[in-house]
Structures are given as structure tokens and as C-alpha cells.
Structure 1
């Protein structure tokens, strides 16, 4: 067979091979889109100005972190639904199981590394304090000052790896289901102090009309608040984690969160009590 009769066959084979590659690429692209059609995010629902339940739809969370997730959604091209799935302890369990893809605001602890990845940089830095009755004189300057006292905090809350370890070994801290319960119990003198973040604590004390409380001037800790992703999330791929991390770096450089926190502090203050 002459060379002139072979060339058309080779050309046809090349066209067929190119077509096959193109079809495979289209299927791969479609599969990639279908593998992560939606990200479900949640977080601590008692955490204004960062997150709280939407009065107009109690299945949704609103706040600074919720709006940050919507901005992230626009940047990565994947819808993010910020949902109320239960109290903070339940949120962490749902994330462990992979039913929640993202936690929009969690402190770093070693145990949490077992079931979720942390994105750098952090969303925000928060200040955790002890709350006491104004009528009581408790001179708090260091963690050891809490040893003879009885404290309260919320189930599954963390206040930094170092303090968590110290508290477990040295302090008497009972855990309750909600910050509302903790502050009310403190107001009734059923504990000496409550440990909670400063901004959310102030917000809740005002909303619950719990008077006569004060925050110590020396913080328990100053901790970074992170965006995290469940290890069991179907969307947890290196490619998507890279995209999210890049966007979070851009948000940090543009100081997006600073503006959102101020916006939602005002919204919380003006919301119906």
C-alpha cells in the first residue's frame, strides 16, 4: 500500500483520538461540577455578631461570618448554604460525620484536627473573658486565680489549646447547653463565673436583660477564629481547598471581616429584643 493511502488513515485516527479526549474532558468537567454542587456551612448559633439564627427563618444563620460565606461563594463559584443544624455541640458532630461541609468560625484544637481541616489565615481574632456578678469582688489576673472557684461554660466550647488543657486538669467548670443558660445561672449566683467571648457575651447579656454582670479586664485568651472543612465532605479536595485558601488570603488583605463585624454589631443592637 502506498504512502498516499496511509496518510488519510493516520489523519482519521488523530481526529478520532482528539475527539475522544475532548469528550473525556467534558465528562470530567461535568463530573467535577456535580461532585460539589453545594457547600453546607454552619457554626455556633449563639455567637453574635458573628452568627445567630435568622428571626425571619430559624433554619438559617445570619451575621458577619454568614455574609463572609456568601462572599466566598461568589468567589469560588459554588453555592454555600449557611444553616442552623442545632447547638454548637451538634454542629461539630454533624461536621465530624460530613453532613456539614464548613464550619464558619472555630478555634484551633488538636482533637478537631481528627475530623476537619483549618484554612489560613484566620477569619478573625476574638477575646475570651470571665464574666462575674458586679457585686462580687473576684481578683482575676491569671488562670490559677480560678482554682478555688466554680465556673460555667457552654458544651463543646474551646478557648484555645493551652487553656483547655489547664482547665481540664485544674479548674472546676461545669458545661451547660447554651450561653443563655450560663448567663442566667450566673445572675442567680449558681456559679462564680462564666467563660465566654467578650463581644458575644455582651450581646447576649443585653438581649436577655441580665443585669449586674461584668467582664474581667484581663482576658483568658485571645484566639483566632478559623474557617474549617470536614474530612468527610464530598467537596474536600486539594483543588477546592486551594481556591478557598486563596480567597481567604485576599479577604484578609482587603480587611473584609473588619467591615462585616462592625456592620453586624449595629444590626444586632438594632434587632428586636
Structure 2
């Protein structure tokens, strides 16, 4: 028995003819040209990054010096821009409005929206800070379980500690390191978790006495340069160029000099 022919409506036939043309047109569209990179980072992070006293929309510090060097290596302008506190920086990067983060710890959540470049910029050490006279024999994370802690919004101290703190510890988060230090100084919390060098720099600048880091570190974590997945500059070619530059940076050992210089700059001018 002969089957009747299948009749297509005019719109269905037109759509069938149009789809291949649309796909062909999209394939012919050239990729966006990367002419500039916008970078940011934690703006309360001396000696690595802080806001310039001369231009508060600009970031300065050791990581900003690294970006100047990277700009020359890539042959592209890189702007170290202040966009808000650390939590806002991560939101802007997730949305693709910031291309690079100059200094981020590795977490699985962050890998969902940005690529990490190896080797790391620098190894960092995160510690527990307490008031002088506090009797806390800290040896392991569980020693903090009965106490009230504080840290800065959006900060990470490594995947393992972040998970443990979320499940087992009572740590509140505030907008700035200055606020966290003042809470500790005024006995509103028992301890502060932060990196030792930035915390010491802020204590000196704010004339906050009576706070000390405990010897045993919470974590030692590498600090990375990252690139947003939604950046118009995130192409295989650009990722390769940045990766090669990071290996060259590590071989030359330039970060130590930039950090030393930035510590002296911070002491003179501050944020």
C-alpha cells in the first residue's frame, strides 16, 4: 500500500531552510578581539593590593606591579581597577565584567567561573590572631570549635579549612579587615582568621596594638592569577600566552622584590 506523502507547512519548510543558513552565518562571525584586560583583586590586601591614594579607582601593590610586567609580556594594556570589596570583585569576575583577578586562592567553587594559571604567584600563610593574654593552646582546627571567630567576606583559606569552618566552626564574616581587627580588639570575637602579612600591615597602619598571630598556621595556600570564563579575552591562544608568562615570572623570581618594595610603600602612604 502506498503511503500518502508527508506535507510540510510553509513555515516548517522555511525554518528547515533557514537553520543551516543561521549556523553558517554564526560560523563566519569572527571572535571578539581582545584589545585590553581589566584586572582587580582584594583591595584590602597589602602588600599585594590596595587602593591608590592619588587615584582611588586604581589598585597598587606587588600584584599591580606584576600586572604591569604581564602587560609588557602580552603586549596588551592591563588596567588594575578598583571595583569594590573582595566579594564584589568575585561577583564582577563571575559576570565577566572583570577579566583577571590578581591574587586568588584555589577553591572548587571558583573554578566554575574562572581559570587558574600555574605556577602560583606566591605562597601565603593564614593564621589565627588573638588578643594578647588570650590563653588558647591552638594546635588543630577543632581547638577553635567552642569560640567565636571572624574573617572577611569572600575570603578563602583553602578548600579543606573552608569546609571544616562551614560545618564545625562559628565564624562570622564582615566587609573589611579593619572592621574584623576592631571587633577582635574590642573583644566582640575571640579570634580572627586571616593571612599574616596583610593582617600585620593593617595593624601597623591603624595603630592597633594588643593583637598577635598564633604560631601554628591554619593553612598555607598558593596565590594565583585567574581569568574569567566569561571574559572576551578568554581564548585558547590567550590562556597559552598568560601561562607562558607565569612560568617566566616564576623563573625570574620577580615577586619577592615587588613584595618588599610594596611593604615599604604601604608603610609610607597606606591605603
Give the TM-score range, shorter chain. Answer: 0.7 to 0.9
Aligned equivalent of 1:87, options 78, 85, 88:
85
Taking the TM superposition and a 5 Å limit, the aligned residue runs for 1:1-273 are 35-271=33-269
* Equivalent-residue separation in structure 2 for 1:256 and 1:244 (angstroms): 16
* Equivalent-residue separation in structure 2 for 1:255 and 1:267 (angstroms): 20
The number of residue pairs the alignment matches comes to: 243
* Equivalent-residue separation in structure 2 for 1:64 and 1:250 (angstroms): 17
* Cα contact 2:115–2:229 (8 A) shared by 1: yes
* Equivalent-residue separation in structure 1 for 2:104 and 2:270 (angstroms): 27
* Cα contact 2:129–2:192 (8 A) shared by 1: yes
Q: State the Cα RMSD in Å.
A: 1.3
* Equivalent-residue separation in structure 1 for 2:84 and 2:139 (angstroms): 35
Task: Find the residue that maps to 1:123 and give its secondary structure.
Answer: strand
* Equivalent-residue separation in structure 2 for 1:249 and 1:125 (angstroms): 15
Task: Find the residue that maps to 2:205 and give its secondary structure.
Answer: helix
* Equivalent-residue separation in structure 2 for 1:102 and 1:142 (angstroms): 34
Q: CA deviation at 1:216?
A: 0.5
* Equivalent-residue separation in structure 2 for 1:198 and 1:51 (angstroms): 15
TM-score norm. by structure 1 comes to 0.87
Runs of 4+ in 1 over 6 A off after TM superposition: none
Task: Find the residue that maps to 1:151 and give its secondary structure.
Answer: strand
* Equivalent-residue separation in structure 2 for 1:42 and 1:61 (angstroms): 8
TM-score norm. by structure 2 comes to 0.88
Q: CA deviation at 1:135?
A: 2.2
